[in-house]
Structure 1
Amino acid sequence: MDVIGTSGLTKRFGRVTAVDHVDLRVPAGARFGLLGPNGSGKTTLVRMLLGLVHPTSGSVELLGRAMPRHGAEVLPRVGALVEGPSAWPHLSGPANLRLLDAAGPGGRRRDRRRRVQDALERVGLGGIDRRPVRAYSLGMRQRLGIAAALLRAPELLLLDEPTNGLDPRGIGEVRDLLIALNEAGTTVVLSSHLLTEVEALCTRVGVMDGGQLVLTEDLDVLRAPTGHVLVRTPDPAAVVPLLDGQVVGRSGDALVVRGDDAAALNARLVAAGVAVSELALQRRTLEQVVLGLTGTGSDRVDGGTT
């Protein structure tokens, strides 16, 4: 079953096409990363999924129901954080969550304090005091926004840059939390331009560029072996004639060797008396995949390249 399905989804703002005929499928139980440079259409797509922006054309289904027509039925089953956390700045974090919980359908009042406390504890704010949100750090605000998304034990989480403002430890904690939620049955969709975070968390990725979805694939497939093996040896000169044309690159004690059986290559070198200090199959990184698919757009305004 797909928890997200779009068909020909398009959004134009005047002459600008922000999202261009996107057909997206996200299966239940996935950890899905939506990647692309700033301005590629990721946030606009997420906003259309939630019914916050109406499409110019095309259709959206969320949890098997058409959006935004069935938003009142679907959205209580969805947790979302889009374009950063929002809050009443003069109120405390717990007070903000209680108001959000009261505003949503289906939440029983007698369980509200427990739900709020559970959500705060899950994001590392269980001991927060009554200080107003305006006194929170950016990382604390981000944690509060994630807590708000978790209030109703959602079936689907849609998170736009959820680790923004977090320190390295906080990033790791959020990653562990999302993996645990996913293993308990929640589908997680993460929109981000941070490739390392998506690579560490997600099992499937979609890449957007210029408003178009240019790739959707399992991460394991994208990072399949390249057909080359990296070999490090204190005697690289002995390897080149031994492998008879299989060496395709050399830098110091490192050689790139054509082949896909690292164990057999290691046995061959050792049998020939060559000492091997490192040997590993080469794989493409997610960064290489994304940069190979997306254009040259960036945040620069000086006409340079990055």
Structure 2
Amino acid sequence: MSGTVIATHGLRKSFGAVRAVDGIDLDVRAGDVYGFLGANGSGKTTTVRMLLGLVLPTAGTVEVLGRPIPKAGREVLPRVGALIEGPAAYGHLSATANLSLSDASGPGGSRRTRKARIGEVLDQVGLGGVGKRAVRGFSLGMRQRLGLAGALLRRPDLLVLDEPTNGLDPQGIHEIRELLLDLNRTGTTVFLSSHLLAEIEQLATRVGVLDRGRMVLQDDLATLTAPTGATVVDTPRAAQAREVLGDRVLSADGDRLVVRGSEPAEVNAVLVGAGVPVHGLTLQRPTLEEVVLAAAAGSGDRVQAGAAS
């Protein structure tokens, strides 16, 4: 699979006077782990539902796997695994029985191999030992894993996930992260909607940021968090280091200095040569949180609070 996997053009959705999604242009490419970021109420879930044809846009277009949605939904959606707004399940049935109700006859399997495939995906998400238990006894995290298992059932080309680590403990979050990275390495494109910046920073190759319905940022993560051209210096003699470096010091906070120049070895040589001990040197890089907050702060006019999520 190559090329563009998800593309929207001027995508908009209004609920009465509230514009929940305001003309966004998504660009998700084959092989991406695309982190779709935004606070609760920013329009993420509404966007995801439009991608899957569950909600019709007020304006604009959606293409998934090169085909228009919802027009080509019956052709495209069997190749897409999705988990949106928490998993739905019959509480009185087991995890295995719930999955067996799904149509596993799509591109990733047939009815003859359904039982084996269900066992495989339950193992993948860490539910292999509890597949026969009634779902009503599952924790929120276990239900979330079951929803992910359902999304994986057909071996999809594209995974669309809305807050997939909701309800999971740190170990569970780590396991799901590794699972998604493994799937991506074997060719699955992952579209991951979340408000958890730290989690997206560990997963994503590309990021889009939604702020109250508007796309305020979209780029490769490596580009967004590239070095700034400055060096961070950790020294117990910050005052002396400032005297030595003069106007090259851009900022200071305790033992930490930010110094103009992207050659840590050169900065180290200057300081050590002047008798200043250096405990650490790194290139300054913005965190994803800093990038997102700066983009949201500069996004201009926004739709009213209370927009659908």
TM-score, with length taken from structure 2: 0.92
Matched, 1:11 2:7: no
> Shift of the alpha carbon at 1:208?
0.5
Query: 1:220 aligns to what?
Result: 222
The residue type equivalent to 2:174 in the other structure is G
Paired with 2:278 and 2:224, the residues of 1 have a C-alpha distance of 28
Determine the structure 1 residue equivalent to 2:137.
Answer: 135
Q: Specify the alignment match of 1:251 in structure 2.
A: 253
- CA contact under 8 A between 1:36 and 1:294: conserved in structure 2? no
Cα drift, residue 260 of structure 1: 1.6
In 2, distance between residues paired with 1:181 and 1:252? 43
The AA in structure 2 aligned to 1:40 is S
- Output one character per residue of 1:51-88: Cα deviation in whole Å (capped at 9) or x when no partner: 00011111111101111111111111000000111111
Determine the structure 1 residue equivalent to 2:195.
Answer: 193
Task: Give, as a single letter, the amino acid of the residue that structure 1 aligns with 2:72.
Answer: H
User: Which runs of no fewer than 5 residues in structure 1 stay unpaired?
Assistant: 302-306
Identity fraction in percent: 59
Cα displacement string for residues 14-52 of structure 1 (whole angstroms, at most 9, x for unaligned residues): 111111111111111101000011111111000000000
Q: Take 2:240 and 2:294, find their aligned partners in 1: how far apart are those partners?
A: 35
Residue 82 (structure 2) aligned to one of 76, 80, 84: 80
Q: Work out the CA distance in 2 between the residues paired with 1:56 and 1:255.
A: 50
Cα 1:210–1:88, aligned 2, differ >3 Å: closer, same or farther?
same
C-alpha offsets along residues 212-250 of structure 1, whole Å, 9 cap, x if unaligned?
111111111111122332212222232122112112322
SS in 1 for 2:93: coil
The answer for the alignment partner of 1:117 in structure 2 is 119
Partner of 1:209: 211
Q: Number of residues paired by the alignment?
A: 298
> Aligned partners of 1:129, 1:40: CA distance in 2, in Å?
36
Q: Please state whether the residue corresponding to 2:87 is helix, strand or coil.
A: coil
Residue 304 of structure 1 corresponds to which residue in structure 2? none
Distance in 1 of aligned mates of 2:59 and 2:256: 53
Deviation track 1:131-181 (CA, whole Å, cap 9, x = no partner) reads 211110011000000000000000000000000000001101100000110
Q: Are 1:267 and 2:282 matched, yes or no? A: no
- Structure 1 length-normalised TM: 0.93
Contact 2:248/2:259 (CA < 8 Å) preserved in 1?
yes
In structure 2, runs of 5+ residues without a counterpart are none
> How large is the RMSD of aligned CA atoms in angstroms?
1.8
Kindly indicate whether the alpha-carbon contact (under 8 Å) linking 2:106 and 2:154 is maintained by their aligned counterparts in 1: no
1:1-306 paired onto structure 2 within 5 Å: 1-101=3-103, 105=106, 107-294=109-296
Contact 1:206 1:217 in 2 (8 A): yes
Q: Distance in 2 between matches of 1:239 and 1:93?
A: 62
Cα distance in 2 for residues equivalent to 1:158 and 1:38: 18
